[in-house]
């Protein structure tokens, strides 16, 4: 391939064959899985919020679960933008913090 052909291919985004995957999910599949997981967890957190508000009405309950809902939405947006690992870590840490706050802070 001549230098002109290589330059034209680079401009058109044809840098060569796609890299060979050795295992795991493709990036698009990983993003879709994280979005689906965060969506399911968002629905679960909303259901727990409704149950907790039925048993005790507290601003702390709304705050903890409201932040968890915002976190799930943020993870969905991070996954859409391709930051799936960061989103996964934030989701795990944030939901663990919400569960810990529910157990130890909310009477």
Cα dist from 95 to 18, 35, 69, whole Å: 36, 15, 10
In terms of Cα–Cα distance, which of 98, 83, 91 is closest to 38?
91
| Of 95, 92, 101, residue with least CA distance to 61 | 101
Q: Does residue 1 register a pLDDT over 70?
A: no
Other C-beta atoms within 10 Å of 63: how many? 13
Instruction: Report the C-alpha gap between 70 and 23 in whole angstroms.
Output: 32
> pLDDT per residue over 81-90, tens digit each?
988 889 889 9
Structure tokens at 31: 């993003």
**pTM assigned to the model:** 0.70
Q: Which residue has better confidence, 55 or 7?
A: 55
In whole angstroms, what is the distance from residue 38 CA to residue 73 CA?
7
The pLDDT of 44-54, averaged and rounded, is 90
Joined together, the tokens standing for residue 60 give: 């702390």
Closest C-alpha to 25, from 17, 16, 34: 34
- Is residue 60 over pLDDT 80? yes
Residue 50 has pLDDT above 70, yes or no: yes
Contact present, 98 and 68 (Cβ < 8 Å): yes
Asked whether residue 107 carries a pLDDT value surpassing 80, the answer given is: no
């Amino acid at each position: 391939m001549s230098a002109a052909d290589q330059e034209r291919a680079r401009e058109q985004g044809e840098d060569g064959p796609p890299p060979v995957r050795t295992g795991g999910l493709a990036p698009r599949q990983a993003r879709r899985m994280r979005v689906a997981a965060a969506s399911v967890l968002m629905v679960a957190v909303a259901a727990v919020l409704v149950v907790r508000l039925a048993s005790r009405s507290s601003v702390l309950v709304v705050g903890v679960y409201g932040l968890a809902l915002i976190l799930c939405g943020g993870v969905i947006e991070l996954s859409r933008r391709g930051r799936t690992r960061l989103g996964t870590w934030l989701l795990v840490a944030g939901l663990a913090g919400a569960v810990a706050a529910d157990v130890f802070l909310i009477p």
